[in-house]
């Protein structure tokens, strides 16, 4: 009896192991990331494969065009030893496909992926996963037809362009250096009765050089890329400097307003700040940066509509300009310079708690406290264009509310890092502050924006 049991164990266990492990019938898992069925002149296709049981045997990727097969990737994996050590069970690749290098012409084709595992099924050929996708080989880059004529921009300023594409694209807009400004459909912005063109606001940052490359970039669904230059005149902005003296009185009055630990959690992990001046530096540098990132995140919520009337924005009524855009500020304490920052807006002062009007029609994205800016309202005017109203003493609007031009949205104040009652007003294009003075100028708005829009509406191009 004992001998029979031992014999069964010696026979049954190995056979059972072979049946369950080496003859398993589970096919390899394949994930092919091809969101649109087209391949351009140079395309990387992410591919991930896995076989948790037997391990991977072979991967093959190719195109079939006009009954010819073209191989772009193949790999054989070592089987390891009999017990499965050293087997590859999961891999990821970027399959680079360049049709022209293999003489593949544009047109319909079949993308084929074959993955096998190390199972003994199919007479030791393994389980096989076959994926075939009908695709288009399209190696022609999209053409760009610029419809607007004159384009002007200065350092720290904005501009506007309207154009058409020869085909639908997965990505298109204006590239300023390495900063991308997306374009929007005129039909979505103005209505289906208008021609289907594309338009984009873009900005040249106040620190960007006048020689910064500015092009229209379009990427079609096949991955072909066009970078189209267009006629644009770039002007230089003169940088103004200002000196701000930080007094102990100012510090003792303003610093208690800021709970740095809650506003900047990383600061609370470090040693206590030694004095009020050091706390001011932390606020003026790190909190300023954190607030800017918050504004950029808000800008991502912009809507593809043209909320405003394409006429000039309103400034604070009966006010005096106290500080300009992109002024280079030196902060001094005790006679020595302790910090340097750029002022990314325009400060205007009137009477205390003066009514603040919406510069133009738009949707309120934010109404709350924003670090150094204190009580702040952010309005989305559509297509990535935002106006910011800071240092307020009161809000008269709610988030999500659509406000009209001239509507009272709050009162001026001195919340945040403000030394006195005033309004800090900024214009943000996606992720770049631009000069508000342009948007207050009816001639600038007419020549750079509304004329271009009206011309396209009129011609129907």
Q: Which domains can be identified in the chain, with CATH numbers?
A: 25-137 (2.60.40.150), 144-237+449-459 (2.60.40), 241-434 (2.70.70.10)
* pLDDT(107) > 80: yes
* pLDDT(57) > 70: yes
* pLDDT(373) > 80: yes
277 phi and psi angles, rounded to 5 deg: -65, -40
**Interatomic CA distance for residues 342 and 428, integer angstroms:** 15
- Range 104-133 average pLDDT: 91
Top mean pLDDT of 17-31, 119-133, 286-300 is at: 286-300
pLDDT value at residue 226: 96
Query: How many angstroms separate the Cα of 391 from the Cα of each of 145, 251, 294?
Result: 44, 17, 16
pLDDT value at residue 150: 86
406 phi and psi angles, rounded to 5 deg: 80, -5
- Range 427-453 average pLDDT: 95
* pLDDT(262) > 50: yes
C-beta of residue 99 within 8 angstroms of C-beta of residue 39: yes
pLDDT value at residue 457: 76
Contacts of 209 (CB under 8 A, 6+ apart): none
- Range 25-52 average pLDDT: 91
- Higher-confidence residue of 237 and 97: namely 97
* pLDDT(81) > 50: no
pLDDT value at residue 3: 57
Return the SS3 of 252: helix
pLDDT value at residue 35: 87
pLDDT value at residue 83: 54
Question: Where are the alpha helices (H) located in 113-208, listed in sequence order?
Answer: 121-124, 186-190
- Higher-confidence residue of 184 and 14: namely 184
- Range 134-142 average pLDDT: 94
* pLDDT(79) > 70: no
* pLDDT(19) > 70: no
**Percent over 90 (pLDDT), the chain:** 65
**Interatomic CA distance for residues 446 and 448, integer angstroms:** 6
Average pLDDT of the chain to the nearest whole number? 89
Reported as type and span, the H/E element at residue 25 is none
**Percent over 70 (pLDDT), the chain:** 91
């Amino acid at each position: 009896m004992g001998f029979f049991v031992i014999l069964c164990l010696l026979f049954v266990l190995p056979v059972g192991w072979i049946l369950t492990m080496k003859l398993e019938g589970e096919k390899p898992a394949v994930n092919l990331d091809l969101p649109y069925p087209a391949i351009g002149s140079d395309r990387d296709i992410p591919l991930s494969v896995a076989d948790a049981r037997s391990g991977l045997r072979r991967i093959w990727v190719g195109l079939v065009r006009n009954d010819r097969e073209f191989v772009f990737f193949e790999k054989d994996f070592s089987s390891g030893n009999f017990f499965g050590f050293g087997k590859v069970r999961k891999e990821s690749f970027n399959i680079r496909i360049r049709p022209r290098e293999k003489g593949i012409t544009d047109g319909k084709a079949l993308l084929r992926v074959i993955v096998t595992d190390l199972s003994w099924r199919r007479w030791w050929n393994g389980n096989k996963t076959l994926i075939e996708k009908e695709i288009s080989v399209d190696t022609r880059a999209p053409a760009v037809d610029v419809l607007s004529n004159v384009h002007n921009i200065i350092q720290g300023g904005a501009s506007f362009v309207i154009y058409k594409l020869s085909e639908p694209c997965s990505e298109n807009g204006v590239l300023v250096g390495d900063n991308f400004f997306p374009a929007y459909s005129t039909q979505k912005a103005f209505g289906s009765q208008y021609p289907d063109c594309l338009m984009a606001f873009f900005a040249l940052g106040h620190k960007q050089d006048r020689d910064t490359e500015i092009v229209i970039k379009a990427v079609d669904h096949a991955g072909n890329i066009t970078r189209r230059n267009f006629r644009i005149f770039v002007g230089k902005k003169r940088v103004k400097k200002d000196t701000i003296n930080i007094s102990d009185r100012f510090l003792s009055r303003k610093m208690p307003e800021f709970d740095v630990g809650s506003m900047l959690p990383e600061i609370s992990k470090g040693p206590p700040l030694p004095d009020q001046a050091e706390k001011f530096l932390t606020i003026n540098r790190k909190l300023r940066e954190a607030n800017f990132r918050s504004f950029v995140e808000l800008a991502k919520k912009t809507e593809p509509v043209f909320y405003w009337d394409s006429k000039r924005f309103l400034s604070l009524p009966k006010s005096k300009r106290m500080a300009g855009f992109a002024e280079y500020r030196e902060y001094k304490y005790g006679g020595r310079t302790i910090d340097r920052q750029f002022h990314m807006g325009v400060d205007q002062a009137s009477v205390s708690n003066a009514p603040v009007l919406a510069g133009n029609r738009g949707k309120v994205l934010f109404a709350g406290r924003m670090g150094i800016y204190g009580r702040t309202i952010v309005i989305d005017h559509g297509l990535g264009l935002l106006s910011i109203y800071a240092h307020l003493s009161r809000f008269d609007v709610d988030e999500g509310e659509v406000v009209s031009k001239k509507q009272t949205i709050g009162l001026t104040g001195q919340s945040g890092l403000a030394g006195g009652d005033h309004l800090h007003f900024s214009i943000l294009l996606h992720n770049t502050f631009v000069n508000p003075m342009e948007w207050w100028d009816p001639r600038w708005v007419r020549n750079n924006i509304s004329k271009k829009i009206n011309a396209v509406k009129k011609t129907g191009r």
